[in-house]
Amino acid sequence: MAKYIFHVSTNAVNSTVEEVFEIPDEELEGLSEEEEEEVVGKYFNEWKADKMADTWTRIQ
């Protein structure tokens, strides 16, 4: 398993979320660097969507 550290944060103090994320070797085998970045990016975006919620509310 290939291991990556995924991070998300805001400019607020103590808002960082980090997690070691593993991707099966079979998904990365034989890929070019660019292709690997696409696969890892897909996993990262899914992970990030699970960790973050953003909304807005009209107050006036």
Rounded (5°) CA angle 6-33-1: 50
Q: Calculate the alpha carbon distances from 24 to 11, 34, 44, 49 in Å.
A: 32, 17, 14, 20
Quick one: pLDDT at residue 52?
85
> Which pLDDT does position 39 carry in this prediction?
97
Domain regions of the chain by residue span: 2-51
The answer for residues whose C-beta is within 8 angstroms of residue 31's C-beta and 6 or more apart is 39
**pLDDT tens-digit map of 3-60:** 999 999 988 999 899 999 999 999 999 999 999 999 999 999 999 999 888 889 999 9
How far apart are the C-alpha atoms of 43 and 41, rounded to whole Å?
Answer: 5
